[in-house]
A and B are shown apart, each in its own frame.
Chain A
Amino acid sequence: MSISWKSYNPGEFYDELISSPGYPRKVARKLTKYLSSLSHVELQQRKAMVEHAIKTMGISFTVYSEAGNIDRQWPMDLVPRIINQTKWDRTSDGLKQRLRALNCFINDVYNDGKIIKDRVVPGDLLKKSKNYRKECAGMKPLHEVWAHICGTDLIRDKDGEFYVLEDNLRVPSGVSYMLENRTVTKRVFPELFENYDIQPITDYPTQLFDTLAAISPKPKDYPEVVVLTPGIYNSAYFEHSFLAQQMGCELVQGSDLHVEDDYVFMKTIQGLAPVDVIYRRIDDLFLDPEVFNTDSALGVPGLMRAWLKGNVGLANAPGAGVADDKVVYTYVPKMIKYYLDEDPILPNVPSFLCTDKLQLQHVLKNLDKLVVKPANESGGYGMLIGPQSTQRQRAEFARRIKANPREYMAQPLISLSTAPVLGESNMEPRHVDLRPFCLQGSKPYVTAGGLTRVAMVKGSYVVNSSQGGGSKDTWIVRE
């Protein structure tokens, strides 16, 4: 028995591979045909091989639980998701445009604040932002770039268009899984690569290194770039270690660094050695106990002094998260127009601001239809999904929103596209999103594709790996 594409029915949703039951999209035809040539047993064997490869390669992530931290194997479905190159090129342009505008915005709000003076963005938006760092005011990092690395979450609605769901400008993670998914597919399914020209993605670590090297305070051929991790118990430790390895950098913890006379050093077997650039994977508030959380053991005392004096490059810059706020998000299309005088290439998901009276009324009246998101949470926590909520949950959210309108925004329940996932007996449609990674140093770069996350439960929209989500290798292919 082999796969029956005729009985695969994504319903009303846009499916990444199949346009209607029995009819694969043009770009997916060779893949679906090849998959159909395999028997049920062969497919299940490949599935087991994927799991085995992930186990031996040690691709894992950590889940925090009451019973302690659990190191879980990275979940990956073996059927790749294919996106057509023409479609992707446009999306990629949109992502670069967006990050350029976001960086203009961050630099503006910490310096002249023109966008506020011109009343494009309300001033109290920033005053109440949890991620605005007053310590950064007046700072001008190299190239005036604050967010060097951005992970943008995209979704595809029923019309097949990409919409931006959120921008992650603090410490976005997932890129290592994108790279490892490709490695696993090559190991387990080498045949698939015979009939396709797939955009390679392996140059990401090189691009990342170049981006980081570009913010070295002193121009050097080989600046000392380090990756700063909160440590082995962090959920993304695997990624920190992977990126350090791929870039040939030292992976340091706060305790490995030392600030002296406003310069940063690392403790080596030869004594102290200077550090030029830090790719920090620690949140702002834990970076420097002298300035932020005084009891942070993860950070480095004096790091902010060194950065403010321009003696060390930090990526992303402290305070960059001011634009990574679900309320600020709603203003991004206006920012693009304001700073770049361009029309946004990628649309936002329509959003309602609870700070606006009329919009707030609409939100409160339609809580059962909307998705309510807190402004500053990540990982899918603290959300209300209206259509799946209870009366009591809605009442609770109404209370919270009224008490603190700046902390919430709402969106209609948008559809997520689907892609086939190999189940027990057949292919089944599951919802997916996409997180491409965008770099901006001296020049912009976008990964070819990104990390596709999959909600493994039928009908579910929750793609976060911490909550049982899976993933897929993602191909950008010329038709």
Chain B
Amino acid sequence: MLSSVAERVYWLGRYLERAENSARLLKVYSAMLFDLPRGTSLDWSTLIDIVGVNEGYKEKYQEVDEKLVVKHLLADTDNPNSIFNSLVMARENARTTREVIPSEAWEQVNAIYHVLKDKLNPRMGRAARYSLLEEIITNSQRLEGLFISCMSHNKAFSFIELGRKLERADMTSRLVDVGSINLLPAFSSNPSQRLVLEPYENIVWMNVLRCLGAFQAYRQQVQNRVSGNAVVSFLLQNEEFPRSIGFCLHELVSQLEKLPNNEDVIRAIARVKRITREVDVESLVDRGLLEFIDELQISIADIHEEITRVWFNLEIKLKEDS
């Protein structure tokens, strides 16, 4: 398989997954805000932090409100990580790898791009937005099914999977960030308001689970009321639920085993596995979760660096050899 094609299908996987996860995030985040009492410390600016587009946003807008944040994350063409841009890039990568992906897959990617292009409009209401996000998620799932059931599980498939699972692990780690945001500070000075907030205590964690479609799986496996510790260890370590980081890492290794010269990449994954397995979750949630997630994200980025070095940059290797 050509290095250049491998790189493009890998990014196809990443961008599709990025679009889906951003849509999930946006959907659940809105739902959660509507549940919370007004005046909590959780507002739309937190979402910009999680996605990591703080700088770009602040350069462009002075205010932070629902309309602008949603627009920036969903539609802005100057935000490289907006859902629209992710799908533009996914489409471009699919368009340039049509010889290796099933033609139905190309048609699906192309179709969702056109849907988004036709339906996006700045005055879009909440209801229309909700159904558009649903459509993006469904389309991404349909595509995943298409790859699994209509494409040979060959090297190109492995690279799509690498892209998808790595991006997913990264996005799940960002969602753990959401849960770690403490709702209480704004209310803690006033004991009577503390009482008001009690029913909401676990609402953030519950929404994080819902965002990942993990609520049911969590209840079945943890059989405990939703608590920060349990959710964090479920999302970091569980190897059965497909959106937990533990599962993604496991899948990455099984795809890697089908590829040549895989040692360095497998080593990079082993490092991430160690980090997630050995961490003391109990102490994390009370303090240090944010720092831990940062460390985790850096080590996930290392996997990407290794993949790029080993398979996509043959040019450099040729020069080194000669």
- By a beta-carbon cutoff of 8 Å, the part of chain A in contact with chain B is 55-58, 227, 232, 241-242, 244-245, 248-253, 255-256, 258, 266-271
What are the 5 tightest A-B residue pairs by CB atom distance, in nearest-first order? A244-B99, A245-B99, A267-B314, A269-B311, A58-B110
| Contact status of A56 and B107, CB under 8 A, knowing A241-B98, A266-B2 | yes
* B71-115 near A? 1/0 per residue, CB < 8 Å: 000000000000000000000100110111001001100110010
Interface of A is mostly: mixed
Inter-chain contacts of B4 with A (CB < 8 A)? 252-253, 255-256, 267
Give the docked Cα–Cα distance between A244 and B100 (Å): 9
10 contacts across the A-B interface (CB closer than 8 A): A58-B106, A227-B99, A232-B92, A244-B99, A252-B4, A267-B3, A268-B2, A268-B314, A269-B155, A270-B260
B293 within 8 Å of A (CB atoms): no
Inter-chain contacts of B315 with A (CB < 8 A)? 267
Known A-B contacts: A58-B110, A245-B98, A269-B2. Give 11 more (CB < 8 A). Answer: A57-B103, A58-B107, A241-B96, A245-B100, A249-B99, A250-B99, A251-B5, A256-B4, A258-B318, A267-B4, A269-B155
Pair B107/A267 contact, Cβ less than 8 Å: no
> Of B3, B98, B318, which contacts A268 at CB under 8 A?
B3
> Of A242, A256, A270, which contacts B98 at CB under 8 A?
A242
Q: From B6, which residue of chain A is reached at the shortest CB distance? A: A269
Give the docked Cα–Cα distance between A269 and B6 (Å): 8
> Of A58, A258, A267, A269, which contacts B259 at CB under 8 A?
A269
Give the docked Cα–Cα distance between A256 and B3 (Å): 8
Inter-chain contacts of B141 with A (CB < 8 A)? none
Inter-chain contacts of A58 with B (CB < 8 A)? 95, 106-107, 110
| Contact status of A252 and B261, CB under 8 A, knowing A58-B95, A269-B311 | no
Pair B114/A55 contact, Cβ less than 8 Å: yes
B243 → A minimal CB distance (Å): 28
Inter-chain contacts of B260 with A (CB < 8 A)? 269-270
B225 → A minimal CB distance (Å): 47
B1 within 8 Å of A (CB atoms): yes
Inter-chain contacts of B99 with A (CB < 8 A)? 227, 241, 244-245, 248-251
Pair A269/B3 contact, Cβ less than 8 Å: yes
A100 → B minimal CB distance (Å): 31
Pair A56/B110 contact, Cβ less than 8 Å: yes
Give the docked Cα–Cα distance between A251 and B259 (Å): 21
- By a beta-carbon cutoff of 8 Å, the part of chain B in contact with chain A is 1-6, 92, 95-96, 98-100, 103, 106-107, 110-111, 114, 155, 259-261, 311, 314-315, 318
Q: From B259, which residue of chain A is reached at the shortest CB distance? A: A269
Give the docked Cα–Cα distance between A249 and B100 (Å): 9
Inter-chain contacts of B114 with A (CB < 8 A)? 55-56
Give the docked Cα–Cα distance between A270 and B100 (Å): 17
Give the docked Cα–Cα distance between A46 and B187 (Å): 62
Give the docked Cα–Cα distance between A55 and B3 (Å): 30
B315 → A minimal CB distance (Å): 8
B292 → A minimal CB distance (Å): 33
Pair B2/A250 contact, Cβ less than 8 Å: yes
Give the docked Cα–Cα distance between A232 and B3 (Å): 17
Give the docked Cα–Cα distance between A267 and B319 (Å): 13
| Contact status of A271 and B314, CB under 8 A, knowing A56-B107, A58-B107, A256-B4 | yes
Inter-chain contacts of A266 with B (CB < 8 A)? 2
B13 → A minimal CB distance (Å): 15
Give the docked Cα–Cα distance between A227 and B96 (Å): 13
Q: From A55, which residue of chain B is reached at the shortest CB distance? A: B114
B139 → A minimal CB distance (Å): 12
| Contact status of A256 and B107, CB under 8 A, knowing A232-B95, A241-B98, A245-B98 | no
Inter-chain contacts of B314 with A (CB < 8 A)? 267-268, 271
Inter-chain contacts of B6 with A (CB < 8 A)? 269
Inter-chain contacts of A56 with B (CB < 8 A)? 107, 110-111, 114
> Of A245, A249, A269, which contacts B1 at CB under 8 A?
A269
> Of B5, B96, B107, B111, which contacts A250 at CB under 8 A?
B5
Inter-chain contacts of A227 with B (CB < 8 A)? 99
B1 → A minimal CB distance (Å): 5
Instruction: Give the one of B1, B4, B114 with max A CB within 10 A.
Output: B4
Give the docked Cα–Cα distance between A258 and B6 (Å): 17
Q: From B321, which residue of chain A is reached at the shortest CB distance? A: A271
Instruction: Give the one of A55, A245, A269 with max B CB within 10 A.
Output: A269
Q: From B96, which residue of chain A is reached at the shortest CB distance? A: A232
Q: From A250, which residue of chain B is reached at the shortest CB distance? A: B2
Inter-chain contacts of B92 with A (CB < 8 A)? 232
Inter-chain contacts of A244 with B (CB < 8 A)? 98-99
| Contact status of A252 and B2, CB under 8 A, knowing A267-B314, A271-B314 | yes
Give the docked Cα–Cα distance between A261 and B174 (Å): 50
Q: From B113, which residue of chain A is reached at the shortest CB distance? A: A58
Inter-chain contacts of B103 with A (CB < 8 A)? 57, 245
Q: From B314, which residue of chain A is reached at the shortest CB distance? A: A267
B151 → A minimal CB distance (Å): 13
B257 → A minimal CB distance (Å): 14
Give the docked Cα–Cα distance between A50 and B212 (Å): 39
Give the docked Cα–Cα distance between A373 and B275 (Å): 71
Q: From A246, which residue of chain B is reached at the shortest CB distance? A: B99
Give the docked Cα–Cα distance between A246 and B144 (Å): 22
Inter-chain contacts of A232 with B (CB < 8 A)? 92, 95-96
Inter-chain contacts of A258 with B (CB < 8 A)? 318
A165 → B minimal CB distance (Å): 32
Q: From B94, which residue of chain A is reached at the shortest CB distance? A: A58
Instruction: Give the one of A55, A56, A252, A268 with max B CB within 10 A.
Output: A268
Inter-chain contacts of A252 with B (CB < 8 A)? 2, 4
Pair A256/B318 contact, Cβ less than 8 Å: no
A150 → B minimal CB distance (Å): 24
Inter-chain contacts of A242 with B (CB < 8 A)? 98
Give the docked Cα–Cα distance between A268 and B6 (Å): 8
Give the docked Cα–Cα distance between A266 and B2 (Å): 7
Pair B2/A267 contact, Cβ less than 8 Å: yes
Q: From B103, which residue of chain A is reached at the shortest CB distance? A: A245
Q: From B101, which residue of chain A is reached at the shortest CB distance? A: A245
Inter-chain contacts of A251 with B (CB < 8 A)? 5, 99
Give the docked Cα–Cα distance between A242 and B318 (Å): 30
Give the docked Cα–Cα distance between A253 and B314 (Å): 15
Inter-chain contacts of B318 with A (CB < 8 A)? 258, 267
Give the docked Cα–Cα distance between A248 and B101 (Å): 11
Pair A268/B1 contact, Cβ less than 8 Å: yes
A299 → B minimal CB distance (Å): 16
Inter-chain contacts of B5 with A (CB < 8 A)? 250-251
Inter-chain contacts of A271 with B (CB < 8 A)? 314
Give the docked Cα–Cα distance between A126 and B260 (Å): 51
Q: From A240, which residue of chain B is reached at the shortest CB distance? A: B99
A281 → B minimal CB distance (Å): 13
A204 → B minimal CB distance (Å): 16
Pair A256/B95 contact, Cβ less than 8 Å: no
